[in-house]
A and B are shown apart, each in its own frame.
Chain A
Amino acid sequence: MIYLNNAATAWPKAPGVVEAVSECLASVPEHPGRTAAAAHRLPDACRGRLARLFGVEHADRVVITQHATQALNLAILGLCLHAGDEVVTSVMEHNSMLRPLSRLEDMQGLRLTVIGLTPEGNLDENAFEQAIARGPRLVAINHASNVTGQVMPVAALFKQAHRAGAVTLLDASQSLGHIPVNAEALNADIIAFTGHKGLRGPAGIGGLYVRKGLELEQVIVGGTGVRSDLRLHPGEMPTRLEAGTPNMPAMAGLNAALCWIEEHGAAFEAAASVRTAQLRAGLKSISGVRLFGQREGEPAIGVVSFRILGWPVEEAGYVLTESFGIVCRTGLHCAPLIHSAIGSAPDGTLRFSPSGATTEQEIAETIDAVKRMAA
C-alpha cells in the first residue's frame, strides 16, 4: 500500500505518538484541576511547544480544541459579528471556514465577500483591495489550499487588513508543520490549526492561537476543573475558551509529535518537498494528465491535484486504490468554491499528498500507475 493522503490525515504518525497515546490511556488518568496535582504539565508543555511554533511569548494564548473546525467556529462566533459587518474570505477556503461564515450570513445578515482567483490562479488582489477599502471587520484566509497546495501571500494580505482595522484569522490546517507559521510575521491575530495533519499527531485535537489584547467571546461554556466556585465560566485564557474534559490521550500524542518535529521536522519537510516535486514532474510528463492550480517555483505544500483524461474522478480513485494499492483522495476535498476557479467543477480532482515518509520508489510506482491508466 502506498499512502498518498497526508493532506487528509498524516500517516504514519510522528515517531513516539502511538507510544505516548498508548501510555496515556494505560496510565491512571490525569486531568488538569480535576485529579492529579501535576496534571497541568502536559497541557502546559503542549501549549509551550505550540507557542514556540507560532513565535509567540505567551503560551496561555494557545487554546486546545478538538479540531480546527471547532477552533474556527470559536473564532468566528467569538468575534460577535453583527448584521451588516463585512467579512472577507476567499474561494480557496475549506468548508470549516465557509460554513460558519455562510451560516452567519444567513442567520445574522453578515456581508460575506468571497475573493476569487485571477486567470493565472492568484488571489484577485484588485478585488481584495476593493473589499478592504470598505472596512471589513474580519479577513479570514486559508494559509495553504488543501486542493492545489498553493500558499497564499498571507503576510501582505493581512497587513492590508490591519491597516483597514480588520481582525485577521488564519486557517493553518494545511500549513502548520509544513511551513513556518509565525503569527507576527504573518500579521495573524488568530490562528486555527489541527493536530493530525502537518503536525503528525492523532486526530481529535487542534487549537486556536489568539493574540494578546484580543478577547473572543465565549461560545462553549461549562466544566473547567478550575474556579468551580464561579457561577459563570472563567474569563482568563486559555480556560476562557476551553470547556469540558480535555482529550488527554490526543494531547499526549500531539505533544510527542511536537517534540519530534522540534528535532526532525525540517529534514522531514525537506524530504516531502523533494517527493512532491518528483511526483509533480512525473505526472506533468504524462500526456493525458491535467494538473490543477500549480505553477513552477511558487510556494506550495505537498499536494498535487490532477485528472486523468478519459477517467471520471471517482472511478480513477477507485482504480488507483483497489488495483494499484495507492491511497488517494477524490472529489471536492471539502473546498467547494475553488473548483469553479481552477476548472475542476463539478466533480473535483484526484489528489495525491505525499510526506517525508514517502519513498522515491513509491513515487516511481505511483507515476507508473497513472501512466498505465492514461495509456
Chain B
Amino acid sequence: MNVVNRVKVEDCFDGSAVFNYELSEPWTEQSIQRLAGLGHFQYFADFPRPLFCLRTDAGLFVNGVAGSYDCRVVLPRTNREQVQKTLDDVLIEELNTHEEHH
C-alpha cells in the first residue's frame, strides 16, 4: 500500500492541519489492525461502515473506513511537518512490512 496523494482539507482554521490521504489499495481489516501498534487505536467493527481511529502521543489523529481508498489525517497544532513525515514513514513501513510477511 502506498500514499498516492495528500490533499489538504479545508476546515475552520488555517487549513494546514487536515489532510486526506489517497491510497493505492483499500483498507482491509488486516491492514487496519496493523495500525494498532502505532498509538491509541480503536476499531469500530460494529459501526454501519466499520471505521478506525488512531491517536498518537504526538497529537496526531488518523481515521479511515474499511474498504475505502483513503484516510483522514489531522495533524497537531505544533511540530506539524515532523509529525507528518514520521506518520508517512511509519504508516507505509508498517503496512508494507506486514504485507511482505503475509
By a beta-carbon cutoff of 8 Å, the part of chain A in contact with chain B is 312, 314-315, 318-319, 322-325, 330-334, 348, 372
3 closest A-B pairs by CB: A331-B12, A332-B12, A323-B51
CB of B32 closer than 8 Å to a CB of A? no
Q: How many chain B residues touch A (Cβ–Cβ < 8 Å)?
A: 18
User: Would A314 and B61 be within 8 Å (CB), given that A319-B53, A331-B11, A333-B12 are in contact?
Assistant: yes
Please determine whether B47 and A318 come into contact, CB atoms closer than 8 angstroms: no
Interface members, chain B 35-93 (any A CB < 8 Å): 44, 46-51, 53, 61, 63, 65, 68, 72, 74
CB-defined contacts of A332 to chain B, threshold 8 Å: 12-13
What's the Cα separation between A202 and B2 when bound, in Å? 41
Question: Do A372 and B47 form a contact, CB below 8 Å, given A315-B63, A318-B63, A318-B72?
Answer: yes
11 sample A-B contacts, Cβ–Cβ < 8 Å, listed by A number: A312-B74, A314-B18, A314-B61, A315-B74, A318-B63, A319-B44, A322-B68, A322-B72, A323-B51, A323-B65, A332-B13
List of A residues within 8 angstroms of B47 by Cβ:
319, 323-324, 372
Using Cβ atoms and an 8 Å threshold, which residues of chain A touch B68? 322
Residues of B contacting A333 in the complex (Cβ-Cβ under 8 angstroms):
12
Assuming the contacts A319-B53, A319-B63, A323-B65, asked whether A314 and B48 have C-beta atoms less than 8 A apart, the reply is no
Give Cα A314 to B65, complex, Å.
15
How many angstroms between the C-alpha atoms of A324 and B44 in the bound complex?
12
A21 CB to nearest chain B CB (Å): 26
A-chain residues with CB within 8 Å of residue B53 when the two chains form the complex? 315, 319
Chain A residues, Cβ within 8 Å of B74: 312, 314-315
The docked-state distance in angstroms from the alpha carbon of A314 to that of B12 is: 10
For B62, the closest partner residue in chain A by CB is A315
Q: Which residues of B contact A322 (CB under 8 A)?
A: 49, 51, 63, 65, 68, 72
Distance of A361 Cα from B82 Cα, bound (Å): 46
Q: Which residue of B lies closest to A372 (CB)?
A: B47
Cβ–Cβ < 8 Å partners of A315 in chain B: 53, 61, 63, 74
Task: Return the chain A residue nearest B66 by Cβ.
Answer: A323
* Chain A residues with CB under 8 A of B48: 323-325
**Contact partner, A314, options B11, B49, B50, Cβ 8 Å:** B11
